[in-house]
Amino acid sequence: MTHDIEIDATGLLCPLPVLKLRKRMTSLNSGSIIKILADDPAAIIDIPHFCNENKHLLLDTREPLQRTTNENLREYFVKKG
């Protein structure tokens, strides 16, 4: 999926991936698409909740296309509302 920016939040634990996402989104226009990589097991709950509460759209959540040994690593694609 094409995206405007990418955020690497690997190694960060709750609530840091969401805080990093929120901070980067402030300077973006509505409709911008952000890809965030996170391996915090709580991110699978926290990122959708953040999107829902702030009127952003979670477009997709998936395992990375490249194989990795990190079984918790996920890609989240968020469209700024």
**Overall residue count recorded for the chain in this entry:** 81
Give me the active site residues, please: 14
pLDDT band, very low/low/confident/very high, at 27 (cuts 50, 70, 90): very high
pLDDT in tens, 28-54: 999 999 999 999 999 999 999 999 999
Angle, vertex CA 16, rays to CA 71 and CA 9, nearest 5? 45
State the CATH architecture for 5-79: 2-Layer Sandwich (3.30)
The model carries a pTM of: 0.92
Q: How confident is the model at residue 77 (pLDDT cuts 50, 70, 90)?
A: very high
Contact in structure between 78 and 30 (CB atoms under 8 Å)? no
Q: Are 2 and 33 in contact (CB under 8 A)?
A: yes
Q: Which of 16, 49, 47, 45 is nearest to 34 (CA)?
A: 47
User: Quick check: 56 and 78 in contact, CB under 8 A?
Assistant: yes
